[in-house]
Amino acid sequence: MMLAVLAKLPIISWPAILPETIFIGGALLLLAVSALSNKKLSSGFCAVYTILISVAALGSSMYLWDKLSSHSSYVAMSSSIAVDGFGVFVAILVCSITVLIALAGEGFFRDSWGSLEFFVLIMLSSSGAILMAMANDLIVVFLGLEIMSISLYVMTAMDPSRTSSGEAAIKYFLLGGFSSAIFIYGIALIYGSTGSTNLANIATFLADNVLVQNGVLLCGIAFLIVGFAFKVALVPFHMWTPDVYQGAPTPATSFMAALAKAGGFAAFLRVFFSTFGTLRSDWRPIIWVLAVLTLLIGVLLALVQQNIKRMLAYSSISHAGFVLLGLQAASAIGVAGSLYYLFTYSFLVIGSFTVVMLVAGEKDTNHSLDSYKGLARRRPWLAGVFTLLLLAQAGVPFTTGFMAKLYVLSALISAHGYALAVIAMIGAAIAVFFYLRVVVLMYSPAPGFAANDETGAALDTDTGIGESIEVGDEAATIQSSGMSLTRSTALVLAITVGITVAFGINPAPLIEFARHATLLFH
């Protein structure tokens, strides 16, 4: 009797969800251990633990990848999970992000507030992102989205010393909840018009039936777009981004910048490219408009920011516009381009925010662009690294940033999106401007001499290094307020810079990786 019941239950193919399981199990175990142990767990221990868990998840993702390259992709868990190259690629990316953020977090928390919770939350959030990437059912996408987002809300609110942290969390939570509700309503409408939430079933349904009155379906798709657009911060659904990026503790910002984009775009690409591919003539115009707005408004607003985190937030918005180009191309090369972009961008943004974290100091407060003035004199290595990362974000040749833009634009142009390509490049040209602005600031004389400049405008800042003999005291105070480079943060910077340069000079392996991921698309 019992056996008969058991036999009816769906078979759970554990290997298919191994990375997620490892993350969730790891997080729960860490919580349990901390609850049971008498003394507070040190942040070093938590970080090492998180890194081990992430590496284990990375290993399991690699194992899945390895299996995929010999076998074909398959679905598991009542076909609600797709184990394919695409999902595993994102899983590998997410695990790498988690390793880097755990390293950066170790440098940041130092046994102060939240040192345990942060690590638990990044593991939970990562499991959500992987779930989104591997989801083959809209409801699983929704679950992954929520697992990821709810952890991010908490991470945003974690800093007890700054009011802005809580404020950012409320904004993020309200707008995130709002977009989730829109998203689930979209799912409901799609379910109503196609009779299923399973991506494969929907695709089959749409291929077999031509809907005469597809208003409800299109409404549902529009709602899905809005939901995704909120998560990955596309204009005009980006309002939360700068506030949240600014308010959240910097490692959390860096985590959400990389992870929410990776998870969000993974599901976005899968749902629209593979499931609603037959309706592309309906959704491509919407994506076109979103892409144009995102590319241009993102960079234009970034130009006027005085806070580095806000500036990077707007820059991340414009990067989202570039990732969107791959979807607009609606081709395999486009999806590969978007994946490549996400991969390289994640490392760039983590590196950049780690520098921001180091400059911001123990209290995580020095975020004005002024605190970057003269950074090259005080901390030449940090300034050099930041210069490289910013230039790579700007898409300078022989960095990953350039190849990423090249890849998505190739996809777009092979789909005859010439106008959008020109707009994107104009956006990139404007973007260079504000990245260079920070670079010029870093190499300009240290504060205290600002008054000597002919004009106060940041762009007109005198860039001649030096002219500063009596700035010693000022520089010293700023130096002391910055955070010193620990071994773990140095490692983060080394990895991000290494990947940026190595795959910039020899992009072939990574491009092949992204291309294989799309070839193994379910």
Partner 1 sequence: MGNSVYLEVLIILPAFGALVVALCGNVREYVVRQIGFVISMLVLALAVVITVRFHATKAGYQMVVNHPWVRALGISWHLGIDGISLFLVLLTALLFPICLSGKVGLDNRSSETLVEGESVGNGRVKSYVAWMLLLEAACLGSFLSLDLIFFFLFFELTLIPGYFVIARFGHERKVYAAVKFFVYTFFGSTFLFVGILAVAFIHQSQTGVLTFSLSRLASTHFSPMTADLLFLAFSAAFAVKAPIFPFHTWSPDAYSQAPTGGSIVLAGVMAKLGVYGIIRFDLGLFPKATVDLAPLLLTLAVIGILYGAIVAASQRDFKNLVAYSSLSHMGFIVLGIFALSSEALTGGVLEMFNHGIYTAGLFLLLGIMYRRSKTSDITKFGGLQQYAPVLAGVFTLVMLATVGLPGLNGFVGEFLILLGTFQTHRWWAVVAATGVIFSVIYLLFAYQRVFHGQVSKAAAFAGYIANDDAVTAAGGSGDSPAGDSPAGVATKRIVFRDLTWTEGLALAPLVVLIVFLGIYPRPVLERITPSVDRLVTHVVQANRHANLGVSVNHSTAHLSSIPRHPGGAGKGQ
Partner 2 sequence: MSIPGSWYLTLAALLFSIGVVGILVRRNVLIMFMCIELMLNAANLTLVTYARMLNDIGGQVLVFFVLVVAAAEVVVGLGVIVSIFRRAKSTTADDLHILKG
- Site of interaction with partner 1 (CB under 8 A): 391, 396-398, 402-403, 406-407, 409-410, 413-414, 418, 421-422, 425-426, 428-429, 432-433, 436, 440, 443, 459-467, 469, 506-508, 511-512, 515
Number of Cβ within 10 Å of residue 469's Cβ equals 7
> What is Dmax (Cα atoms) for the chain?
88
Nearer to partner 2, 298 or 337 (CB): 298
Cβ at position 176, least distance to partner 2 in Å:
9
Cβ at position 326, least distance to partner 1 in Å:
14
At 316, give phi and psi (nearest 5°): -65, -30
Residue 197 interaction partner, one of partner 1, partner 2, none, beta carbon < 5-8 Å per kind: partner 2
Q: Which of 200, 219, 104, 112 is nearest to 158 (CA)?
A: 112
Terminal-residue alpha carbon distance, the chain: 37
Nearer to partner 2, 182 or 348 (CB): 182
Q: Could you say which residues in the range 192-231 bind partner 2, by CB under 8 A?
A: 192, 195-197
Stretch that binds partner 2, among 63-71, 98-106, 178-186, 460-468 (CB under 8 A): 178-186
- H helices within 415-507, ranges in order? 418-442, 472-481, 487-505
Cβ at position 375, least distance to partner 1 in Å:
13
CA dihedral for 495, 500, 501, 507, sign (positive or negative): positive
Cβ at position 422, least distance to partner 1 in Å:
5
Nearer to partner 1, 112 or 414 (CB): 414
Cβ at position 196, least distance to partner 2 in Å:
7
Cβ at position 331, least distance to partner 1 in Å:
11
* Local structure of residue 465 (DSSP, 8 states): S
| Cβ–Cβ < 8 Å for 180, 223 | no
Residue 171 interaction partner, one of partner 2, partner 1, none, beta carbon < 5-8 Å per kind: partner 2
- Which residue type occupies 425? M
Q: How far is CA 399 from the centre of its chain?
A: 19
Cβ at position 226, least distance to partner 2 in Å:
11
Would you count residue 163 as binding partner 2 (CB under 8 A)?
A: yes
Cβ at position 257, least distance to partner 2 in Å:
16
Cα 61 to Cα 188: distance, rounded to the nearest angstrom: 32
Residue 242 interaction partner, one of partner 2, partner 1, none, beta carbon < 5-8 Å per kind: partner 2
Whether the ω angle into residue 15 lies within 30 degrees of 0, i.e. cis, is no
Would you count residue 353 as binding partner 2 (CB under 8 A)?
A: no
Residue 463 interaction partner, one of partner 2, partner 1, none, beta carbon < 5-8 Å per kind: partner 1
Would you count residue 24 as binding partner 2 (CB under 8 A)?
A: no
Number of Cβ within 10 Å of residue 429's Cβ equals 12
| Cβ–Cβ < 8 Å for 139, 78 | no
Cα 243 to Cα 233: distance, rounded to the nearest angstrom: 12
Q: Which of 341, 299, 323, 353 is nearest to 89 (CA)?
A: 341
Cβ at position 474, least distance to partner 1 in Å:
16
Cβ at position 195, least distance to partner 2 in Å:
5
Stretch that binds partner 2, among 304-312, 420-428, 467-475, 513-521 (CB under 8 A): 304-312
Q: Which two tokens stand for residue 326?
A: 């791959």
Place of tokens 């990077």: 312
Nearer to partner 1, 52 or 426 (CB): 426
- Which residue type occupies 139? I
Residue 59 interaction partner, one of partner 2, partner 1, none, beta carbon < 5-8 Å per kind: none
Nearer to partner 1, 252 or 333 (CB): 333
Would you count residue 173 as binding partner 2 (CB under 8 A)?
A: yes
Nearer to partner 2, 81 or 420 (CB): 81
Cα 101 to Cα 255: distance, rounded to the nearest angstrom: 6
Cβ at position 80, least distance to partner 2 in Å:
11
Cα 302 to Cα 435: distance, rounded to the nearest angstrom: 9
Residue 494 interaction partner, one of partner 1, partner 2, none, beta carbon < 5-8 Å per kind: none
Cα 82 to Cα 95: distance, rounded to the nearest angstrom: 18
- Name the pairing type of β-strands 81-83 and 74-76: antiparallel
Residue 519 interaction partner, one of partner 2, partner 1, none, beta carbon < 5-8 Å per kind: none
Q: Which two tokens stand for residue 318?
A: 């414009």
Number of Cβ within 10 Å of residue 34's Cβ equals 17
Q: Of these, 307, 479, 481, 486, which contacts partner 2 (CB under 8 A)?
A: 307
Q: Which of 54, 61, 56, 23 is nearest to 517 (CA)?
A: 61
Q: Could you say which residues in the range 109-148 bind partner 2, by CB under 8 A?
A: 139, 142-143, 146
Q: Which of 353, 275, 286 is nearest to 324 (CA)?
A: 286
Whether the ω angle into residue 19 lies within 30 degrees of 0, i.e. cis, is no
Cα 372 to Cα 435: distance, rounded to the nearest angstrom: 12
Q: Which two tokens stand for residue 197?
A: 């939430």
Q: Could you say which residues in the range 229-268 bind partner 2, by CB under 8 A?
A: 242-243, 246-247
Would you count residue 318 as binding partner 2 (CB under 8 A)?
A: no
Residue 163 interaction partner, one of partner 2, partner 1, none, beta carbon < 5-8 Å per kind: partner 2
Q: Of these, 31, 41, 170, 485, which contacts partner 2 (CB under 8 A)?
A: 170
Would you count residue 169 as binding partner 2 (CB under 8 A)?
A: yes
Return the ∠ at Cα 153 (arms to 30 and 52), rounded to 5°: 30
Binding site residues, partner 2, CB under 8 A: 139, 142-143, 146, 150, 153-154, 157, 163-164, 166-171, 173-174, 177-178, 180-182, 184-185, 187-189, 191-192, 195-197, 242-243, 246-247, 305-307, 310
